[in-house]
């Protein structure tokens, strides 16, 4: 999922691990109140997962967060942070399964080509083990 860029502001009431955003951001990220999002700050800094809460008093396109959390992400007030919905365990599992399936398929294809190439070099016709027994 693509993320959305949000301008960072310091929260008036410090609360680590929690951010406040305009209500419209929940819909854009397809999340609900209290769900977790991942915030990406500076490129060389590990993203941070935080709980998100809607607040009509927060401007659109702004995220209010704790100063300590901002520091962990290498951000200052006015910086832009990228927010993405944290993938669920099911989504992570499906992605990993798809990647593994693709990798196994590529491996099988590669082995099949190598076997076919060696048979051609040896001058053997392409036969299956069952066909060899009948011959």
Residues 81 and 109 reside in one and the same domain: no
Residues 77 and 101 in one domain: no
Q: Is the model's pLDDT at 25 over the cut of 60?
A: yes
Whole-model pTM above 0.95? no
Q: Are residues 19 and 48 in the same domain?
A: yes
Selected residue with higher pLDDT from 60 and 124: 60
Q: For residue 39, give every residue at least 6 positions away whose Cβ sits within 8 Å of its Cβ, in sequence order, or none.
A: 19, 47, 48, 49, 50, 63, 65, 69, 73, 81, 82, 83
Average pLDDT of 79-83? Answer: 92
pLDDT of the residue at 99: 80
Domain end (from 85, 101, 124): 85
State whether 18 and 60 are in the same domain.
Answer: yes
What confidence tier does 45 reach under pLDDT thresholds 50, 70, 90? confident
What Cα–Cα distance (Å) separates residue 101 from each residue in 22, 59, 93, 98, 107? 40, 44, 12, 5, 10
């Amino acid at each position: 999922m693509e993320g959305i860029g949000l301008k960072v502001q310091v929260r008036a009431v410090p609360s680590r691990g929690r951010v406040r955003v305009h209500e419209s951001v929940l819909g854009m990220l397809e999340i609900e109140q209290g769900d977790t999002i991942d915030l990406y700050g500076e490129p060389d800094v590990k993203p941070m997962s935080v709980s998100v809460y809607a607040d009509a008093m927060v401007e659109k396109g702004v995220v209010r967060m704790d100063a300590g959390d901002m520091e962990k992400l290498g951000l200052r007030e006015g910086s832009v942070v990228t927010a993405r919905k944290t993938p669920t365990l099911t989504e992570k599992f499906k992605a990993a399964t798809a990647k593994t399936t693709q990798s196994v398929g590529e491996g099988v294809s590669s082995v099949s080509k190598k076997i076919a190439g060696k048979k051609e070099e040896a001058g053997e016709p392409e036969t299956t083990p069952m066909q060899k027994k009948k011959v």
